[in-house]
Amino acid sequence: MSTDDQTPAPETSVPTCYRHPGRETYVRCTRCDRFICPDCMRDAAVGHQCVECVAEGNRGMRKARTVLGARGSSSAVPVVSYTLIGACLAAYLAELASWQVVWDFMMLGRAVLPDGTVGGVAEGEWYRLFTTMFLHQRGGTFGIAHILFNMWALWAVGPSLEQVLGRWRFLALYVLSGLGGSVLLYLVGAPNDAAVGASGAIFGLFGAFFVIGRRLGSPVGPIVFLLVINLVITFGVPSISWQGHIGGLVVGAALAAAYAYAPAARQRVIHIAAPVLIFALLAVLVLVRTADLTSAT
């Protein structure tokens, strides 16, 4: 006696990649269990994952930070450094177009301007404390050398500091260093002493580079040599404002020390508080000097 065999034949279809249906594969993603071909495989701690699972996992990961708390990677473009260079070059072109730019925005305590009016920080023009760091000596051999050296220095040390500090810490370092130079000139200089230049901010970067280099165990010999040479020039050339250089150097080194040596548990708080406190101190000194100058008239 015979009977018809109604048992279905075993399935012989070969699995294919979920992203490439024409490619046969027996490998599954360890997260979603879908079949993936070699082009879609990404190495994982165990087995392989598909590109979608890897992307999903990366979205949930925290970005790596430097020792000083900056986010990003070594390939990040130093946007702040390049922007500052561009701003200084644009300001220099404006200076060449008109002397008025220099008179209106240079650092000046209190003096009679060419138009006969009295101007300066003591007259409420506090913005001069900041705008002067974007100006340079107008024209001539010294003027060209002035802006070229400062922009070279910013290009040479700025990107490295910006990478390890992050954009906002670096910007605070630059601006407060420049402000420190202006404030020291305002405090100890004659009311009619005038100055222009990013040198205070640049000296602040030099000081910060030294402090952070020591903290990270990097070679600091070249920056020490550069600092010594510039300090010799600062005190050897009568027309250079030593107050701007020293003020910037002190503020830059102090802020960098706060950045570099803040305890890990309180790093974020100190990195915010340090520039705020330094700015507050400089503001108080400006108010005291302004009160002194205005009460004497």
Q: Are 95 and 137 in contact (CB under 8 A)?
A: no
Provide long-range contacts, Cβ within 8 A and 24+ apart, for 284-292: 285/183, 285/186, 285/187, 286/121, 286/126, 286/129, 286/183, 286/186, 289/109, 289/122, 289/186, 289/187, 290/121, 290/122
Angle of helix 140-165 relative to helix 79-97, nearest 10 degrees, comes to: 160
- C-alpha–C-alpha distance, residues 99 and 194, integer Å: 14
Pairing of strands 118-119, 194-195: unpaired
- CB 36 within 8 Å of CB 19: yes
Query: Residues 155, 81: contact at Cβ < 8 Å?
Result: yes
Cβ atoms of 65 and 101 within 8 Å: the answer is: no
**72 residue type, one letter:** G
Known catalytic residues are 199, 245
Please provide residue 43's backbone torsions phi and psi, each rounded to the nearest 5 degrees.
-60, 135
Whose tokens are 């300066």? That residue is 120
